[in-house]
């Protein structure tokens, strides 16, 4: 068992960390997408209300 952990322990820990990152990425990605979408909508609304210059 000791040699197994010495040999594959780093791989097991790395796999667990990667799984946690993948699971956490979906909600984080959704909140980032929502923030970007909101910012673009605000920018578009501000650009549509500018005064025309003759």
3-state SS, the chain, equals CHHHHHHHHHHHHHHHHHHHHHHHHHHHHHHHHHHHHHHHHHHHHHHHCCCCCC
Does a structural domain hold residue 54?
Answer: no
Does a structural domain hold residue 51?
Answer: no
Domain region containing 15: 1-45
Residue 51 pLDDT greater than 80, yes or no: no
Tokens of 51: 């005064």
- Name the domain count of the chain: 1
Residue 52 pLDDT greater than 70, yes or no: no
Q: The pTM is what?
A: 0.50
Local confidence band at 54 (pLDDT 50, 70, 90 cut-offs): low
Does a structural domain hold residue 22?
Answer: yes
Does a structural domain hold residue 50?
Answer: no
């Amino acid at each position: 068992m000791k040699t197994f952990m010495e040999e594959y322990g780093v791989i097991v820990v790395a796999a667990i960390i990667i799984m946690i990152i993948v699971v956490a990425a979906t909600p984080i990605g959704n909140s980032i997408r929502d923030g970007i979408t909101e910012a673009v909508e605000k920018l578009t609304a501000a650009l549509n209300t500018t005064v025309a210059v003759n």
